[in-house]
Amino acid sequence: MKLDRLIASHQAMGRQAAHLAIAARRVRVNGVIVTDGHHPVDRFTRVELDESVLQAPERALYLMLHKPVGILSATKDDQHPTVLDLIDDPDKHTLHIAGRLDRGTSGLVLLTNDGRWSKQLMTAEQKVPKVYLVETLDPVAPEAVEAFARGFYFHTEDITTLPAELVLLGGNQARLTLHEGRYHQVKRMFHRVGNRVVKLHRESIGALALPADLPAGAWRMLTPGEILAAAEDA
Ligand code: URA
């Protein structure tokens, strides 16, 4: 939203009067006088007119969570515990998930209440690499590397998967990098090469990797640098 619109709606004054107030240097945005009516503001912005607070900022939350196996990537469920149940924050009900994992998958999940940030991550999904550690029922065949790089046609969605990088780690383990996030994508890809995923763990999303000191079930706020890096990545 633009600053002039926010002031006009909060003060029930016309856009013209809002412009005049802004031009008269009566408006502060996050504590700084702003004289441009088109200055962008959102619900996380503090806006003051003279001595009164027109809009108190909401807390913007950005966090990473190490999802354990068995927890649902959802904010509400009647049957299973969800990732929100693991979070202890008074504003946790405002969060949504930026990229879900299956219940049986562990690893990095990002949550935020900033829809613009998550949208940036999501719409650029084709570019943001997501890295998975995969354990399979049978040894991973070397030919799978080329098949994953070529892509698989998924007739339900009528798409061919983007080139994915599969690195064999020996025996039944591999590391897979995807540049998109289709429904059950990793499992479906391994199924196509006649194998089955028995364990799946997401290690990273773009620039954000699950830190070694964040155990399963734990979460932490992202640092300002991480918030920026994730969006830049997108
Ligand atoms: N692919 C899957 O099959 N499951 C996940 O949880 C994530 C990617």
HEC states along the chain? Answer: CEHHHHHHHHHCCCHHHHHHHHHCCCEEECCEECCCCCCECCCCCCEEECCEEEECCCCCCEEEEEECCCCECCCCCCCCCEHHHHCCCCCHHHCEEECCCCCCCEEEEEEECCHHHHHHHHHCCCCCCEEEEEEECCCCCCHHHHHHHHCCEECCCCEECCCCEEEEEECCEEEEEECCCCCCHHHHHHHHCCCCEEEEEEEEECCEECCCCCCCCCEEECCHHHHHHHHHHC
Question: Which of 85, 89, 102, 233 is labelled catalytic?
Answer: 102
Task: Specify whether 29 is located in the same domain as 119.
Answer: no
pLDDT at 227: 94
Task: Specify whether 44 is located in the same domain as 74.
Answer: no
Q: Residue 199's domain is classified under what CATH number?
A: 3.30.2350.10
Single out the residue in 33, 55, 77 at which a domain terminates: 55
For ligand 1, whether the C-beta of 102 sits within 6 Å is: yes
Confidence label for 3 from pLDDT (cuts 50, 70 and 90): very high
For ligand 1, whether the C-beta of 187 sits within 6 Å is: yes
Q: Residue 24's domain is classified under what CATH number?
A: 3.10.290.10
Domain that holds residue 18: 3-55
Distance set, CA 205 to CA 108, 117, 220 (Å): 7, 14, 15
pLDDT digits (tens, 9 = 90+) for 25-52: 999 999 999 999 999 999 999 999 999 9
pLDDT digits (tens, 9 = 90+) for 169-213: 999 999 999 999 899 999 999 999 999 999 999 999 999 999 999
pLDDT at 124: 54
**Confidence (pTM):** 0.87
Q: Let me know if 158 is a catalytic residue.
A: no
pLDDT digits (tens, 9 = 90+) for 120-151: 887 755 578 999 999 999 999 999 999 999 99
Taking 90 as the threshold, does the pLDDT of residue 103 lie above it? yes
Task: Specify whether 207 is located in the same domain as 152.
Answer: yes
Give the chain's domain count.
2
pLDDT at 127: 72
Ligand 1 pocket mutation, candidates 101, 191, 197, criterion most atoms within 8 A of CB: 101
